[in-house]
Structure 1
Amino acid sequence: MQLQGKDYWFTIDPVFDLQAGTDSEGGSTYNNTRGIMIQGGLGKNFNFYSTIFESQGRFADYVNRYAESLKAFGPDPAIIPGRGIAKRFKTDSYDYPVAEAYLSYSPAKFLNVQFGHGKNFIGDGYRSLLVSDVTSPYPFLKLNTKFWKIKYTNTFMWMRDVRDAVVEDKAFLTKYIANHYLSWNVSKRFNLGLFESVLWENSNNRGFDVNYLNPIIFYRAIEFVTGQGAGNALLGATAKYKWNDDVNIYGQFILDEFSLGDIKAREKSWKNKYGYQIGLKYYNAFKVDNLVLQLEYNRVRPYTYSHNTIVLNYAHNNQSLAHLWGANFSELILIGRYRYNRWFADARFIFGTRGLDFNDGSDNFSYGGDIYRDYNDRPFDTGVEVGQGNKTKSFYGNLQAGT
């Protein structure tokens, strides 16, 4: 349904996603989603958007087991990745509602303000090491400022830690994140971005610390003033270079902690917590119209995104706010997409190496992959390498075609 007048527009659309399949280990699978999407605008400066979904589903066995490993405090059996807390449906399925919405207001040509409940993403890749959309939706306030060749984004987010260990009076723990991201078009071909983020918990009824509402000051300086134990700060950078009309090269760098002395010592100290991404997109590949190829490599050192105050990890609803694997991994991604008239074909292959914890009773150390663990539980201070611990290799392949 659509309504439109001189100074307003309004649409309502139904949404359906019905899937059925089989799993070699877990039997039949299905997903039954019904929803509604509402969007509109008033005048030139005010817009709104909302989606509400009601879903029931049973997934491949490895997805079900992963969802139940994310279980929150309380009776509900699972957290559906990227969706939220799920109730039990029948005996072996899940019921998981999802709602996302935002209000958008532009008081001036150079400024836009958004307040909503949803997700954010920073970067040009399939993954993001800064802010990704793999977690559940959350409340946020975003300020977008554009001037000259610069886009400057301030995002303030309200997060939850839902683990048994941090629940107080049967209520989930609240924590907050404030981000700055500056994107600068250095030239017609080259873009450079700078990122900083700080996360703090609602301890001592601290609430949302007004110190972090300053849209310009460096968060590291505030963290120093308020005390290093009061927050967890991250720094990052992005870059994109347009090689030609068909090829883009992009990358990211995330820095959690850095010790120049340990770098010079070349002892692979645990203190050097960082990660990087490098990728390439090839449009109209090999002169085939509408064929897009993408190659991406991600690597994050152990203990990145974690903290010695366990609620100050870079996560929400038991899911990472950056890469879904947390830390202590390397990953190679190959993607191909093709469109011809109404037909499409997609292929995605992911090769990964991860370092997991053993947790076998005799070895309960943290090897740096689980960002929810205290990094002081590490087994050693030097000789720290990607893939340490219970080294695991994985392969994921997905092929789709249709119209």
Structure 2
Amino acid sequence: MNWRFNIYKALVWFGVLLIAINVSGQLDLFPLQQDYIEESRYSYGDLDSATHTSILPFSVKDSELSESYFYNDTSLYYSLLAAKVFKDDLFSINEEDFVLRINPLFDFRGAKDLIDTSTYADTTLFIQNSRGFKMDGKIGKRLFFQTGFLESQSYLPSWQKTYADTNLVIPGMGRHKAYKDNGFDYAQSYGWVNYFPAKNINLFFGHGKMFSGHGYRSHLLSHQSFNFPHLKASATLLKGKLKAMWSLAALQSLTRQPLGEVPESLFKKKSATFSSISYLVGKRVELSVFETNIWKRYSEFSGTVPLNGLAYAPVPLLGYLTQRVDSLQSARIGFNGLLKISNRIQFYSQYLIETEGLQLGIRINELGIKGLRVQAEYNQANKVTEMDPLVSFSHLNEGLGHPVQDTFDEVF
């Protein structure tokens, strides 16, 4: 456990946080942010819930939750200014078959690290200055869309600065540029279109993140790396007991191609396919298998490599069973399990074959006191898989799974 990180967050002594993504409500996908994720986990822990929960983000349309579950507004009165800042959309159109909302995003924070005694920490105020916007809406009852942009400048604690300097990225936020002395300048954009042609079929295309598993961490696919473009299709069968998902994604390294006639060469790219099959066994058990294939898209000898035709086949396990031996593809397979002991207690697990990555966890809701929640989780990996960076399980120098890409043991 990184105690410095916990203390750093606890010592935030100044902050102004006006995040419209939380204020205005969600028309479609619940964000992959920890408060939404954890509230969803506890809600789906009820034995009456029959929702597949091993793949995130959850869709509001496909969900048993509503925005009011997360944010119950108890205020009896708003001034005009407070209502505009904290409650109302900055701009909105609300018709029966068309909704459009536009809101600003702001995140202003400042902190001191009292544990670090270095000159850098003693003379630096660790600030976060983020500004952006979010636009979302829907057309009819089946088509949803969202887009947003966030620009940030930050001064990071020593251990985060070392990570950013070494990996050339801000954790989960992509590439950065220098900002004044010791600062970082970075930005991110996201967006998607989500369509439900039928009640049990979902088609998604966008630029964002995914997550596989029931825990805080994931060995299989985590939201800790940067956004990536991906196409995703899913279908629910057998009266909701079986759910199949397939996704094709575009990833890249931070190694550039040889400089040609352009002023700045492109980064070397790779592709990925993700597939999952989950099954609900009664009301208490959910079992799923998750497959990842990384497809090489660049060769030092021939340049761009065409994408293997198998990548387009939405057949689970096909890539894993037919993986090639000529370094053009790498594959991983893993499993998720969830057991609901009662409405309040869940056990969950995960296993990744290639690294012998194991996860065991328990989640307890209202442990004797209303609102008290307890979660404990153990993660380990016993193998490190060395491979060509152009088929490695990474995106922009960050692993697609657990942030520690080495052998490790972790308890929290």
TM value normalised by structure 1: 0.73
Which amino acid is the alignment partner of residue 141 of structure 1? L
Q: Is the 8 A contact 2:135 2:146 kept in 1?
A: yes
Q: 2:208 aligns with which of 109, 118, 124?
A: 118
What is the aligned partner in structure 2 of residue 359 from structure 1?
none
Which amino acid is the alignment partner of residue 244 of structure 1? S
1:93-242 alignment, distance < 5 Å:
93-148=183-238, 149-163=241-255, 167-169=257-259, 170-203=265-298, 204=302, 205-217=304-316, 218-224=318-324, 227-242=325-340
Report the aligned-residue RMSD.
Answer: 1.4
What is the aligned partner in structure 2 of residue 243 from structure 1?
341
- Rounded to whole Å, the distance in 2 between the matches of 1:168 and 1:238 is 41
**Alpha-carbon spacing, 1:315–1:47, altered in 2? closer, same or farther (3 Å):** same
SS of the residue 1:223 aligns to:
coil
Greater mean alpha carbon deviation, residues 229-238 or residues 199-208: 199-208
Q: 1:324 aligns with which of 403, 406, 411?
A: 403
What is the aligned partner in structure 2 of residue 372 from structure 1?
none
Percent identity at matched positions? 26
- Rounded to whole Å, the distance in 2 between the matches of 1:310 and 1:292 is 40
- The Cα shift of 1:228 comes to 4.6
Equivalent pairs counted in the alignment come to: 303
- The Cα shift of 1:221 comes to 2.9
1:20-62, CA deviations, whole angstroms, 9 ceiling, x for partnerless residues? 0113332211000111111100011110011210111111111
- The Cα shift of 1:171 comes to 2.2
- Rounded to whole Å, the distance in 2 between the matches of 1:168 and 1:197 is 29
Q: Is the 8 A contact 1:212 1:222 kept in 2?
A: no
1:61-113, CA deviations, whole angstroms, 9 ceiling, x for partnerless residues? 11011110002xxxxxxx11100111111122111111111111111222111
- 1:47 and 2:128 matched: no
- 1:313 and 2:376 matched: no
Q: Is the 8 A contact 2:253 2:389 kept in 1?
A: no
What is the aligned partner in structure 2 of residue 291 from structure 1?
372
Where structure 1 has 5 or more consecutive residues not aligned to the other structure, the ranges are 72-78, 257-272, 334-403
- Rounded to whole Å, the distance in 2 between the matches of 1:181 and 1:236 is 10
- 1:19 and 2:100 matched: no
SS of the residue 1:66 aligns to:
helix
1:339-350 alignment, distance < 5 Å:
none
1:213-262, CA deviations, whole angstroms, 9 ceiling, x for partnerless residues? 111152123314xx452210101100000011110000101112xxxxxx
What is the aligned partner in structure 2 of residue 255 from structure 1?
353
The structure with the largest strand share of the pair is 1
1:1-20 alignment, distance < 5 Å:
1-20=91-110
Which structure's relative contact order is higher, taking Cα pairs within 8 Å and 6+ residues apart? 2
- 1:31 and 2:123 matched: no
- Rounded to whole Å, the distance in 1 between the matches of 2:272 and 2:155 is 33
What is the aligned partner in structure 2 of residue 260 from structure 1?
none
- The Cα shift of 1:206 comes to 2.3
**Alpha-carbon spacing, 1:168–1:328, altered in 2? closer, same or farther (3 Å):** farther
**Alpha-carbon spacing, 1:228–1:294, altered in 2? closer, same or farther (3 Å):** farther
